Structure 1
Amino acid sequence: MDSRMASTTQTVGLQAKVAIDDSPAPLKFTDLPQTHWAYAAIRELVAKQIVSGTGATTFEPTRATTRAEFTMMLVNALQLSDEAKIPFTDIKPSDWFAAAVAKAHKVGLVSGKSATRFDPGGRITREEMVVMLMRAYAILYGKEPGGYSISRYSDMNEVSSWASNPVNAAAELRLINGRTAAQFVPKGISSRAEAAQAIYNLLTTK
């Protein structure tokens, strides 16, 4: 980890860990009942303005999460504040996610699909989400998760090589769950509820 990232970690880690303490008010999203498996996590994150609904009364928990949306969630969770230039040609300065992507790229939280293309509207896969989540873990806690060779999932042969250790680490740290007890489904598309729960787990892990 370079000195720039280490400096970010020291400020970000304390703020983010302290931020999830209060008892938030009930949500007003009509598509997210209190019996939903991710309700408690989403309620906490909405109260802290880490995630938001897609409308005044909708959250769309089952809708696919875009790369821009998950980047914004992570930037909000880590409270990244350093301004940066947008390195990608498919993002305009006026885009609602432009500043978040620039900040995330500056600290190594995200990378593009290529040197000039970020694909902000692309739907994020579960393995892509976990790779970004573990980069956030390193920034937040000031340490790399280490190497994990033992897997909880029987479909690890379907996980891309660049995502194998992050998936194993996230599972071991209980930051993520599989789609079933034995299947991670790495190429599956992450839902908004899954993304929110993963970020909540990141901020509350011990």
Structure 2
Amino acid sequence: FALSVPWAVEKGIAKPSSKTKFSPNEPCTRGQVLTYIYRWNGSPKSSIKNPFKDVKPSDSFYNAALWAYEKGLFKGSTLNGNAPCTRGDAIEFLWKYANSYPMNPADNFTDVPRTSKYHSAVSWAYWMRIATGTTQTTFEPDSDCTKAQIVTFIYNLEHSHFMDWLKMSLESARQSE
């Protein structure tokens, strides 16, 4: 995360925990992960009514949660924004942001079988080099996602050129309609 952390701080995606510390191994909450993705997108305004039972306007992640819901990153009426975010959920949020782009299955992680709700998202992240496993054979989708991990995932997506390709493909499809 030597490249991703300074990049994320400079871009205003993530904030340091103090003037001299980032605390890269600190776990992120679901609200924080959505906030980082939201800030990466320029903190756009959402036009929807709050669909969440557990998100209040005073929550630091309020705008990010509404935007994420509007963009399809999250469904349901309960966000649990202050709960730890798992690595699997963080990757799934990014995968949904990338229009749930399908990939060939990546079966190299014993803890992400094809029956796992994270399998498609983890396969996408693996093949697009957005995320790697914690070992050669494990991804640890149920482990807490750290600050360093989420900013690295976002950094890798930003620098993969996948989003440029996807935007061009979507624009081309709209023009041919």
TM-score (norm 1): 0.72
Equivalent positions of 1:140-179 (< 5 A) are 144-157=100-113, 161-179=116-134
Equivalent positions of 1:9-88 (< 5 A) are 38-83=1-46, 84-88=48-52
Asked if 1:198 is matched to 2:161, the reply is no
Please state how far the C-alpha of 1:85 moved relative to its aligned partner.
2.5
Q: Indicate the residue corresponding to 1:108 in structure 2.
A: 72
Cα separation, 1, equivalents of 2:51 and 2:123: 30
Cα separation, 1, equivalents of 2:2 and 2:22: 11
Cα separation, 2, equivalents of 1:119 and 1:156: 23
Q: Indicate the residue corresponding to 1:182 in structure 2.
A: 137
Please state how far the C-alpha of 1:160 moved relative to its aligned partner.
6.0
The residue type paired with residue 44 of structure 1 is W
Which digits, 9 at most, give the CA deviation of each residue in 1:143-197, with x for residues without a partner? x42232232323323x763211111111011100111122111111111111110
Q: Indicate the residue corresponding to 1:91 in structure 2.
A: 55
Asked if the contact 1:71/1:110 (under 8 Å) is kept, the reply is no
Please state how far the C-alpha of 1:96 moved relative to its aligned partner.
1.4
Asked if the contact 1:87/1:116 (under 8 Å) is kept, the reply is yes
Asked if the contact 1:174/1:201 (under 8 Å) is kept, the reply is yes
Asked if the contact 1:152/1:171 (under 8 Å) is kept, the reply is no
The residue type paired with residue 156 of structure 1 is V
Q: Indicate the residue corresponding to 1:35 in structure 2.
A: none
Asked if the contact 1:65/1:192 (under 8 Å) is kept, the reply is yes
Please state how far the C-alpha of 1:68 moved relative to its aligned partner.
0.3
Which 4+ residue blocks in structure 1 deviate beyond 3 angstroms? none
Q: Indicate the residue corresponding to 2:78 in structure 1.
A: 117
Please state how far the C-alpha of 1:74 moved relative to its aligned partner.
0.5
Q: Which residue, 123, 131, 137 being the options, matches 2:92?
A: 131
Cα separation, 2, equivalents of 1:48 and 1:80: 12
Give the length in aligned residue pairs. Answer: 160
Cα separation, 2, equivalents of 1:153 and 1:86: 37
C-alpha RMSD over aligned residues? 1.7
Gaps of 5+ in 2: 162-177
Cα separation, 1, equivalents of 2:38 and 2:108: 29
TM-score (norm 2): 0.83
Identity of aligned residues (%): 24
Please state how far the C-alpha of 1:102 moved relative to its aligned partner.
0.7
